[in-house]
Structure formats: structure tokens, C-alpha cells
């Protein structure tokens, strides 16, 4: 059990919480609607801090917040929680907008910024001072930590705790006016230094930061803390259900205290477990490090768990919706298998992509009895089960590329592909029989000399004889050379967040997470737009990358056809 669940307050189980097939958030909303608590309104928000790119964990929160709003006929706001000027940037704001939209989140005209509320928040802070519920403290950050006490030891009151309202107001206004240096003062709530909940031991509400803010510029040199900002932003926007992750369980008491003390409209905070995935890190700090230290090629590197990385890899948003539905919503932390994500991606792409032929590790086949200079075309369906995908014409000629792996000099039992003397079906084309394998001086296979059966046109047996193996191919004269990037887990370790003593998550990086191959594609792929994903028959799903040029396309493997990684691990 993680620390957050260990110390969490007793969960308030609504009576609907056990309702079959409904998670606790939706059950709670149903209860609130039934009791008329928010007049039947449902209004959620997705509140990212613009200090990094969104990742799979955020997808869970987006699907939840926008999903709940849609299901209950409510609204969901996009709110940038931008109270930390030194780490935030408009680059992130733009990227977040794009990612939320890509996932189908529609906030209409309700794009808000905590920084829009700075003036109101400041007013609420003065109000707390006037109520005798907040004071300016001179203790340093270290001293405040020291005074706070521990879970077993109560805190000590600051010597500044009993300043008069007038003195507090004066100091707070001078903090705002820029009279003090960073760290010289903070504004703290006056609650209870002996509270069993450490969050309630006079938490800091405002700190001094002489820093430029990406939206408010230099208008402010004091900035409100998350706990103060978040509940007030929710209240200002009329949020009904404020859904956040479990680490904020202990903050709920403060959330409630601020709103109750100020006598403001009060949303309900509900906490759910954050998403953790095997072989993945989902902390922005770690993701930033991967980018800044060059362990990946950027935020949108297809190995990254960022939404832009997944998009570039060819993962459709529908697969992420399906994934979020399947993992459900719980109140205890757990780790989801990465293979579940791959399963969802495969499920969606299987039903929604065209199939084409590409050879990733090409070896030449020469069909000795096929006339030189002759060529013909085969009409092939883009999808075997869905005629609406249409067909394309695939050229065939005397020299072809096939996968190196589709030939064995000494085939094991039950090997149905090419081998000396063996016959296979070239997908939709002809039966061929291998006569001879040609090797170079280094012993590497360079060419397969074959013959074809002209009577087997279309891959149909002419006389009822059985050919078990069917392999894919590309006509050498017509092939498009391309670069294909094959990805494996970015982290070899199952849990890069919990490495042995003396190691960091960087030690878990998989040195083979990216492999590039020089592939040959069928010519129909020439016009495929960047960003489109197709199935390369027998190989997996591949997305055309923006790095493609006139000289050659670049494809990212989105996911293989089968769960090869999980199988490998089981056999290891």
C-alpha cells in the first residue's frame, strides 16, 4: 500500500457507492443528483499545471472529467493551474490544449487560468487576515518545516502567529508591493499546529517570488499556493465535483476549511487512484529529464508516454478511451500492465486500418521462370473483412523482396514458409518453390532462386494441392524504400520508479528501445498522409512519421500484431 492510501481519511462511502457497474465517482454524482445537492448540475474541470506535456495519467483524468460531464449532461472546464511562474510556459499551454482536444475534450469557451483569479484570490487572502484566520510569518522555509512537527509530534506555533490584523494586513500589502525579497515572508493560514493532519498545521497560502509569469508578466511578486488556489478556482467556476488523485486526500480538509471559513460556494472533492503503468514513468519531472538529457528525441518521441508521443506513434485517441474505460476508477493505487494498453491499441487498429504489404528485413527472390521485363498487377482488398476500404493494384514482377525470416535453410518441424524445395503462397499472387539459396562470402543469405506456378494465379491452388504457408512480398522494381522505426519499452525494468539502492530510473532505460530498419514498401503507400496508421500484413501497425521526405518515408511501429513482448518475458 502506498503512503497516500495509508494516511488517507476514512473514505465517505455514499450509499450508492456499491451500485453495480458504476464507479464510486459516478455513484456519488448520482446520489448528489438524487438529493438535489447541486440542483442536478454536474460541472467538472481538468486542471493541468502548464509545466510539462500531458501523459497517459492525464488521459485518465481527461477521460474521467470530460466523460462524466458528457454522461450527466454537464460541463467540463479546462483550467490551467498556473501559480508557479518559474516552471510554467506558454509552450506547454499550447501543447496541452492540442492534446486535450485530440482526446476529444471539448471545453467550449471555458478555458480558464488560475492566474485570471489572482486579484480575487488576493482579496480572499486579505479577507482571511481580517477574519483573524491568516498571518504573515517571518520564519524561513526550513524553520517552517522544522516547526511543523511530524505525524507523531505536534507542531510549534510561530512567534509571528499572534500578530494583529492591522500588522498582518500591512505586511501582506507590502509583500504584494514588492518590499521584500523572496522567502522573507509568507502568508499562512491560522488553523491548528497540533492537527493530526499535517496539511492543517498553518499551511502556507502565499509566497514571495520575484519572477516573471507567462501570463501576468511582472504584475505580481507574490503567488498563491496550490491548496489555496485550487479550491477557490473550483468555487469561482461553480464546479460541482472536483476530481483529483489520491495524494490530495489530506488536502481535502484544507480545501473545505478555506471555503467554509470564507463562506463560499463549496464543490465536492473526490479522490481517485493515479494511473501507474509497468515499464513507464509518469512523473513530469522525470519526463522533462528524459527530454533535457537527450535520452529520447523530444517530448513527442514515440517511446514517450506523453500524449503527443503516443499520437506520433500512431495510437488513436479511441484506443486511449477504451484503455481508460477498462482500467476503471479505484480508490487504491495499483499498476496497470503496459500490455493492456497495447491490447486496446491493437483492438482499435485491427478494425480501423487498411492492410498493406511491407518487408522490414528484405531478401531478394528471383523467379527464374517469370519472363524478364514482364509485370502484372493484382487487385488486393485493403481490408479482408470490410469492403468499404476498397482495393488497390499491386504490381508483381520477376524480382521480389520477402522477409529474411520467411526462409530457413534447415527448416524446423512445422515450418511452413520457404526452405530449399519448399512451396509457399505469395499473398494474393502465386505459389513459388525455392530452388536455391545464394550466400555471400560472409555466409549471409543474399538471394533466393525460385520458380512459380503460372496456374496458381491469385494464390489459388490449380489442382487441389495444399500449400500451408502464405508470405507477404513487394515487387523489387516498384518498391518504395523506407525507414521503419521499431520500438520496445523505453524502460527495461518493470518498475523504473522503484530501482535498487544506488540506481535511478535512468538505469532502467532499455538500450534497445529504438531500432531502425531499411524496409521496402508496396507502391500504394506513396500517397499515405503523415500521421496515418496502416497494418503491414503479418507485422503490425505502422504510422507514417513527419520525418518522411521525398527520398523516403519513415514509419513508426505503433504496436506489433501479437503480444510478443509479454510472451518473451514469460519465457525468459
Element (H, E) at 64: helix 56-71
**Cβ–Cβ under 8 Å, residues 440 and 424:** no
Residue nearest to ligand ATP (CB): 57
58 touches, from Mg ion, ligand ATP, none (C-beta below 5 to 8 Å by class): ligand ATP
Q: Between 48 and 203, whose beta carbon lies closer to ligand ATP?
A: 48
- What is the per-residue DSSP string for 100-146? HHHTT---TT-EEEGGGGHHHHHHHHHHHHHTT-EEEE---HHHHHH
Among 127, 120, 74, 289, residue whose Cα is nearest residue 220 = 120
406 is in an annotated binding site: no
Q: Between 333 and 403, whose beta carbon lies closer to Mg ion?
A: 333
Q: Between 258 and 553, whose beta carbon lies closer to Mg ion?
A: 258
Nearest distance from C-beta of residue 54 to ligand ATP, angstroms: 8
57 is in an annotated binding site: yes
81 is in an annotated binding site: yes
Active site residues: 49, 274, 284
50 is in an annotated binding site: yes
- What is the per-residue DSSP string for 146-190? HHH--SSS-----TTTT--HHHHHHHHHHHHHT-S-TTS-EEEE-
Nearest distance from C-beta of residue 497 to ligand ATP, angstroms: 11
Burial class for 156, CB neighbours closer than 10 Å (0-12, 13-18, 19+): middle
Q: Between 80 and 257, whose beta carbon lies closer to ligand ATP?
A: 80
339 is in an annotated binding site: no
Nearest distance from C-beta of residue 49 to Mg ion, angstroms: 5
Mapped onto helix, strand or coil, the DSSP state of residue 195 is coil
Nearest distance from C-beta of residue 490 to ligand ATP, angstroms: 16
**Cβ–Cβ under 8 Å, residues 300 and 526:** no
Residue 319: all three cell numbers together = 484506443
Q: Report the first-to-last Cα separation within the chain, whole angstroms.
A: 28
Residues that bind ligand ATP (CB under 6 A): 47-49, 57-58, 60-61, 81, 244-245, 274-275, 282-284
Among 312, 307, 318, 313, residue whose Cα is nearest residue 349 = 318
The whole-angstrom separation of Cα 424 and Cα 411 is 13
Residues that bind Mg ion (CB under 5 A): 49
Nearest distance from C-beta of residue 57 to ligand ATP, angstroms: 2
282 touches, from Mg ion, ligand ATP, none (C-beta below 5 to 8 Å by class): ligand ATP
Nearest distance from C-beta of residue 313 to ligand ATP, angstroms: 19
61 is in an annotated binding site: yes
446 is in an annotated binding site: no
132 is in an annotated binding site: no
Cα 223 versus chain centre, distance: 30
Q: Which residue has the cell 524553520?
A: 143
Q: Which residues does 438 contact at the CB level (< 8 Å), separation at least 6?
A: 445, 446, 447, 448, 449
**Cβ–Cβ under 8 Å, residues 401 and 476:** yes
**Cβ–Cβ under 8 Å, residues 139 and 158:** yes
Nearest distance from C-beta of residue 451 to ligand ATP, angstroms: 58
Q: Between 49 and 111, whose beta carbon lies closer to Mg ion?
A: 49
Q: Between 214 and 478, whose beta carbon lies closer to ligand ATP?
A: 214
Mapped onto helix, strand or coil, the DSSP state of residue 32 is helix
61 touches, from Mg ion, ligand ATP, none (C-beta below 5 to 8 Å by class): ligand ATP
Give the 3-state DSSP-derived string for 294-362, with helices as H, strands as E and coil as C: CCCCCCCCCCCCEHHHHHHHCCCHHHHHHHHHHHCCCCCCEEECHHHHHHHHHHHHHHHCCEECEECCE
- The 8-class DSSP code of residue 400 comes to E
Q: Between 66 and 370, whose beta carbon lies closer to ligand ATP?
A: 66
495 is in an annotated binding site: no
- Residue ranges of the binding site for L-glutamine: 81, 226
Annotated binding site for ATP: 49-51, 55-61, 245, 274-275, 282-284
Amino acid at each position: 500500500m502506498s503512503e497516500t492510501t495509508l494516511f488517507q481519511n476514512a473514505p465517505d462511502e455514499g450509499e450508492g457507492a456499491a451500485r453495480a457497474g458504476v464507479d464510486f465517482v459516478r455513484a456519488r454524482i448520482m446520489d448528489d443528483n438524487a438529493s438535489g445537492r447541486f440542483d442536478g448540475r454536474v460541472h467538472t474541470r481538468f486542471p493541468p499545471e502548464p509545466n510539462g506535456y500531458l501523459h497517459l495519467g492525464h488521459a485518465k483524468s481527461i477521460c474521467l472529467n470530460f466523460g462524466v460531464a458528457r454522461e450527466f449532461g454537464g460541463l467540463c472546464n479546462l483550467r490551467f493551474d498556473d501559480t508557479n511562474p518559474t516552471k510554467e510556459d506558454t509552450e506547454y499551454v499550447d501543447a496541452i490544449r492540442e492534446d486535450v482536444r485530440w482526446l476529444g475534450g471539448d471545453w467550449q469557451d471555458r478555458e480558464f487560468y488560475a492566474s485570471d483569479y489572482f486579484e480575487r484570490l488576493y482579496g480572499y487572502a486579505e479577507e482571511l487576515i481580517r477574519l483573524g484566520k491568516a498571518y504573515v510569518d517571518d520564519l524561513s522555509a526550513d524553520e517552517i518545516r522544522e516547526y511543523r512537527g511530524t505525524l507523531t509530534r505536534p507542531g510549534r506555533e510561530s512567534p509571528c502567529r499572534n500578530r494583529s490584523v492591522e500588522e498582518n494586513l500591512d505586511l501582506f500589502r507590502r509583500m504584494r508591493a514588492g518590499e521584500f525579497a523572496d522567502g522573507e515572508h509568507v502568508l499562512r493560514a491560522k488553523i491548528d499546529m497540533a492537527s493530526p493532519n499535517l496539511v492543517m498545521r498553518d499551511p502556507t497560502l502565499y509566497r514571495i517570488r520575484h519572477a516573471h509569469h507567462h501570463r501576468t508578466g511582472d504584475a505580481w511578486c507574490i503567488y498563491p499556493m496550490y491548496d489555496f488556489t485550487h479550491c477557490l478556482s473550483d468555487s469561482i467556476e461553480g464546479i460541482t465535483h472536483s476530481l483529483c488523485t489520491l495524494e490530495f486526500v489530506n488536502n481535502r480538509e484544507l480545501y473545505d476549511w478555506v471555503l467554509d471559513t470564507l463562506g463560499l460556494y463549496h464543490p465536492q472533492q473526490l479522490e481517485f487512484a493515479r494511473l501507474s503503468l509497468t515499464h513507464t514513468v509518469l512523473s513530469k519531472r522525470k519526463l522533462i529529464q528524459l527530454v533535457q538529457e537527450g535520452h529520447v528525441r523530444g517530448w513527442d518521441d514515440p517511446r514517450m508516454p506523453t500524449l503527443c508521443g503516443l499520437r506520433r506513434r500512431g495510437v488513436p485517441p479511441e484506443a486511449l478511451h477504451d484503455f481508460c474505460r477498462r482500467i476503471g476508477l479505484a480508490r487504491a493505487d495499483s499498476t496497470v500492465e503496459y500490455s493492456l494498453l497495447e491490447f486496446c491499441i491493437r483492438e482499435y487498429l485491427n478494425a480501423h486500418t487498411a492492410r498493406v504489404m511491407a518487408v522490414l528485413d528484405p531478401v531478394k527472390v528471383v523467379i527464374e521462370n517469370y519472363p524478364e521485363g514482364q509485370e502484372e498487377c493484382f487487385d488486393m482488398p485493403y481490408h479482408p473483412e470490410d469492403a468499404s476500404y476498397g482495393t488497390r493494384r499491386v504490381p508483381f514482377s520477376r524480382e521480389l523482396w520477402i522477409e529474411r525470416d520467411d526462409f530457413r535453410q534447415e527448416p524446423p518441424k512445422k515450418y511452413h514458409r520457404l526452405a530449399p524445395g519448399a512451396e509457399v503462397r505469395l499473398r494474393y499472387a502465386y505459389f513459388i518453390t525455392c530452388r536455391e539459396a545464394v550466400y555471400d562470402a560472409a555466409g549471409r543469405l543474399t538471394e533466393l532462386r525460385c520458380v512459380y506456378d503460372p496456374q496458381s494465379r491469385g494464390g489459388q491452388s490449380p489442382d487441389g494441392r495444399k500449400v500451408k504457408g502464405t508470405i507477404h512480398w513487394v515487387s523489387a522494381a516498384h518498391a518504395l524504400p523506407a525507414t521503419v522505426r521499431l520500438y520496445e519499452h523505453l524502460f527495461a525494468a518493470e518498475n523504473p520508479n522503484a530501482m535498487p539502492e544506488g540506481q535511478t530510473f535512468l538505469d532502467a532505460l532499455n538500450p534497445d528501445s529504438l531500432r531502425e530498419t531499411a524496409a521496402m514498401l508496396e507502391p500504394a503507400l506513396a500517397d499515405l498522409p503523415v500521421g496515418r496508421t496502416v497494418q503491414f500484413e503479418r507485422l503490425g501497425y505502422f504510422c507514417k512519421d513527419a520525418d518522411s521526405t521525398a527520398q523516403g518515408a519513415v514509419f513508426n511501429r505503433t504496436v506489433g500484431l501479437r503480444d510478443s513482448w509479454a510472451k518473451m518475458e514469460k519465457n525468459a
